[in-house]
Structure 1
């Protein structure tokens, strides 16, 4: 079935947000049938990636940011990044002119209220070259004021540029069920357990166990957002039972997976 909403690649092929000198410009796109990953790029403007359905994973040089439904990731202007959208994804991109709003100077995940979501979607349906002093300009100003008040969420996986930690991160991303101990990882990368533990802490701010759990959260959110069953995700991540996985998920995010995603779709705050 065809869609009136353009595909991600088609929408961005001839779209240059930096050429549009407006405080905020929004674009709505969908992915239709295939996962899409845009190559590393950057904009002068800041970019908000809002997941309307499905999920988005944003990669920046020092980490991964997960965007489950009804959340958004904020990417400051000038930051190199790449976005991967799940096959069932529908997203809105909001490009914000430098100094047009009091938004963080670091990449972060934001919880988005139904009001902000509706304002972004409404702006995406309007002409990009609007009158800044007209109705659309006033709507954009309200949107940016509201956006600056959105709370941050801990859906971030720090990734170090250190070669050995990159090696571990790549291995765990490819096989998240790998339950090797820190000592075993140390043997693989030719480091002592103590030295590797110290390196992980210094580079990520987390213990190895906490960092691996955060990786599991990011992967779980990505796969659940794409429509995978909880049982399958638990198996993919190497948990001995669905209950063990749900317990970990609830401890990390405050709710079991089914409630977490149901509340997202219904627009409830955590």
Structure 2
């Protein structure tokens, strides 16, 4: 059963602290008038926006500028601690930006959340925190969704079970649609053929597994690859680096 604890927000530098256990929790698409630093001190936090999807272990966070729509998924046994900052504060990034979380940045975030200091003290701590936020180069793995109900049913089925090797012909029979129609819809509405789109789904599904520290071979098998080498080759082609290096500092 999930548990939630929450601190009230403050106008001069709001902090939201939510603790989740077991099943975790999802925040559907929303936006804030303040900047947000999406971070989890333990577990895995996944953030999605029109710009992409990011999987964040405790060593990374995502700066989300004010006004940017996003959704968040907290995995099992994940403790989410997201500080918010006034729109005139922060590094000035205008798009979601992944940053590394150093030991000092971690302690500053937890300090702000736990102590709720006065305005002046908070702003000093925020300034030090901003100095610690260094962008980490990452390649986002986009999974655009089709709009047509026929293709959308297939897309949801693939996302629910990325390891399913069903061909587009099989999906056409399952959904009572022609293969040609599904192929046309995926290309027209996602910008990529079905096979490439499913590869993106599999790579995105592998990221939380890799972030949890699972071996590459285990992650590859769980998302539908029969050999680790095939998964590594596809992952490297999509991101430019092998899966074992994706969550390390670069």
Shorter-chain-normalised TM-score: which range? 0.7 to 0.9
User: SS of the residue aligned with 1:157?
Assistant: coil
Correspondences of 1:41-80 after superposition (within 5 Å)? 42=30, 43-59=32-48, 64-77=53-66
Conserved in 1, the CA contact under 8 Å of 2:143 and 2:201?
no
C-alpha displacement of 1:177: 1.2
Task: Quickly say closer, same or farther: Cα 1:243–1:56, change in 2 above 3 A.
Answer: same
Q: 2:202 aligns with which of 216, 220, 225?
A: 216
C-alpha displacement of 1:229: 4.3
Deviations 1:233-269, CA, capped at 9 Å, x for gaps: 22221211122223333433444444444x3xxxx2x
Q: 1:40 aligns with which of 18, 22, 28?
A: 28
> TM-score if structure 1 supplies the norm length?
0.70
2:5 aligned residue = 11
- 2:196 and 2:86 map into 1 onto residues whose CA distance is 36
Task: Quickly say closer, same or farther: Cα 1:126–1:31, change in 2 above 3 A.
Answer: same
Q: 2:11 aligns with which of 21, 27, 33?
A: 21
2:115 aligned with 1:123: no
Structure 1 regions of 5+ residues with no counterpart? 1-6
Correspondences of 1:149-164 after superposition (within 5 Å)? 150-151=135-136, 153-160=138-145, 162=147, 163-164=149-150
Conserved in 2, the CA contact under 8 Å of 1:200 and 1:206?
yes
Q: Quote the RMSD (CA, aligned, Å).
A: 3.6
C-alpha displacement of 1:121: 3.6
C-alpha displacement of 1:165: 3.9
Determine which structure has greater relative contact order: mean sequence separation of CA pairs < 8 Å that are 6+ residues apart, divided by chain length: 1
Conserved in 2, the CA contact under 8 Å of 1:52 and 1:69?
yes
2:171 aligned with 1:177: no
Deviations 1:139-158, CA, capped at 9 Å, x for gaps: 213434664x6256333433
Correspondences of 1:73-112 after superposition (within 5 Å)? 73-77=62-66, 81-101=70-90, 102-105=92-95, 108=96, 110-112=98-100
Q: 2:177 aligns with which of 190, 204, 210?
A: 190
